[in-house]
Amino acid sequence: MTTEAPLTMLNEEDGMFRATVRRFAQEQIAPHVRAMDAAGIFREDILRQMFDLGLMGIEIPEEFGGQGGTFFQAVLAVEELAVVDPSAAVIVDVQNTLVNNAMLRWASDDQKRRFLPLLASQMLASYALSEAGSGSDAFGLTTRAEEQGDHWVLNGRKLWITNAAEAGLFLVFATVNPEAGYKGITCFLVEREFAGFSVGKKEDKLGIRASSTCELLLDNCRVPKTNVLGEIGKGYKIAIETLNEGRIAIGGQMTGLAEGALQHAVAYAKERKQFGKTIGEYQGVQFELAEMATLVEASRLLVYNAARLKERGLPFLTEAAMAKYFASQAAETVASKSVEVFGGIGFTKECPVEKLYRDAKIGRIYEGTSNMQRVTIAKQLLSKG
């Protein structure tokens, strides 16, 4: 079984795009998911195929080698990949909705010419905001940038940075003036080969294990002034706006994860027999499947609505927070119930829903915890006249 979005929600182009990504995920990624999870490594050949298919530069204009697609298509890609492997989904998510998005909006013409063709064709990138003491309080960062001639010199340590093991470009947020608070934060384009920059410890994670998460070390890292993204002291604006949009894609990732768990549960309910009948014939299991399917569809509708609002230039902050909050809760619930449908085997590594259950937990944490989403939603409600 595959639950489908209502046909009226997808035009022909989006439907074809979605089908292409789905076929790629099922044929090229699915056979390797279990091995990649166990090893904690994403296969280089699959990453290469994702570039070749255009999944790493969906919104990058064709003049720079990208697909010239839409934000909604990026969300669709993340959702479809997550049905099979949420690790693959988050790799595509960070590249498109955070890094490429920031580059398209704030990069200079020279920076676009230098980096966008690489990001579309071969270079993975990372978005480096978080630090040991700077998680939900994103602007409490301590990484420092000091001006020295035609360079900035960066010192500090970043933690929990997605794609870091493979990335060639890092959007690093640092403060040029701690006394200025968030108004001192600036975004720097740090290239992997820069002196004083290194990728440190790779985290051994509960879920999305094939997606690399590492620390970054900046020890008198020299960054040319031509590699400042946007304006000095305006990094907070880049961070806020990209993360607001990125949360919609995280909602898509969690929706896809929940869809994958539901598909596995339905297939097993049709096959597994107890007391002479398939377990899907028992009302207790039917009720669980019905609740799971409803959660998946509600998540999808919230995510698609937020994405459409963003594309049309309409306010979407509340809707993005709702989509991310609800979809992450739903994914954890659906994955948990799927494990229960499988019974004892669901608690073993042989079962695909065991992995999805582990993968689901991060949805309530990264790119804004569930509590932070609730704060955002409440503040927006209370601010209305």
The three-state secondary structure class of 222 is strand
pLDDT digits (tens, 9 = 90+) for 231-256: 999 999 999 999 999 999 999 999 99
In a domain, 314, yes or no: yes
In a domain, 1, yes or no: no
Read off the CATH number of the domain in which 209 is found. 2.40.110.10
**Do residues 268 and 150 both lie within one domain?**
no
**Do residues 249 and 209 both lie within one domain?**
no
Structure confidence at residue 137 (pLDDT): 83
Structure confidence at residue 2 (pLDDT): 45
Q: Is 344 left (phi over 0), alpha (psi -120 to 50) or beta?
A: alpha
DSSP string, 245-308: HHHHHHHHHHHHHHHHHHHHHHHHHHH-EETTEEGGGSHHHHHHHHHHHHHHHHHHHHHHHHHH
In a domain, 285, yes or no: yes
pLDDT digits (tens, 9 = 90+) for 311-331: 999 999 999 999 999 999 999
**Do residues 177 and 117 both lie within one domain?**
no
pLDDT digits (tens, 9 = 90+) for 77-136: 999 999 999 999 999 999 999 999 999 999 999 999 999 999 999 999 999 999 998 888
Query: Which residues constitute the domain of residue 106?
Result: 7-124
Q: What distance lies between CA 125 and its chain's CA centroid?
A: 13
Picking from 210, 233, 256, the residue at the C-terminal end of a domain is 233
- Over 80: is that where the pLDDT of 8 sits? no
**Do residues 246 and 358 both lie within one domain?**
yes
| Residues in contact with 99: Cβ distance below 8 Å, sequence separation at least 6, in sequence order | 119, 125, 126, 127, 169, 171
- Over 90: is that where the pLDDT of 228 sits? yes
Picking from 90, 108, 124, the residue at the C-terminal end of a domain is 124
In one-letter notation, the amino acid at residue 356 is L
Separation CA 372–CA 349 (nearest Å): 33
pLDDT digits (tens, 9 = 90+) for 161-202: 999 999 999 999 999 999 999 999 999 999 999 999 999 999
In a domain, 333, yes or no: yes
pLDDT digits (tens, 9 = 90+) for 352-368: 999 999 999 999 999 99
Picking from 206, 233, 260, the residue at the C-terminal end of a domain is 233
Read off the CATH number of the domain in which 76 is found. 1.10.540.10
**Do residues 29 and 158 both lie within one domain?**
no
How many domains is the chain partitioned into structurally? 3
**Do residues 291 and 337 both lie within one domain?**
yes
Q: Is 145 left (phi over 0), alpha (psi -120 to 50) or beta?
A: beta
In a domain, 141, yes or no: yes
Separation CA 158–CA 133 (nearest Å): 10
**Do residues 114 and 138 both lie within one domain?**
no
**Do residues 242 and 324 both lie within one domain?**
yes
Q: Virtual CA dihedral for 302, 356, 374, 294, nearest 10 degrees?
A: 40
Q: Is 367 a catalytic residue?
A: yes
**Do residues 175 and 274 both lie within one domain?**
no
**Do residues 249 and 370 both lie within one domain?**
yes
Type and span of the H or E element at 20: helix 12-24
DSSP string, 116-143: HHHHHHT--EEEE--BTTBSSSGGG---
In a domain, 2, yes or no: no
Count of residues making up the chain: 385
pTM to 2 decimal places: 0.95
Read off the CATH number of the domain in which 259 is found. 1.20.140.10
**Do residues 116 and 140 both lie within one domain?**
no
- Over 70: is that where the pLDDT of 3 sits? no
**Do residues 88 and 150 both lie within one domain?**
no
In a domain, 201, yes or no: yes
- Over 70: is that where the pLDDT of 6 sits? no
Share of the chain above pLDDT 90, in %: 94
In a domain, 30, yes or no: yes
Type and span of the H or E element at 163: none
Mean pLDDT of the chain: 96
Structure confidence at residue 136 (pLDDT): 81
Q: Which among 166, 215, 297, 367 is annotated as catalytic?
A: 367
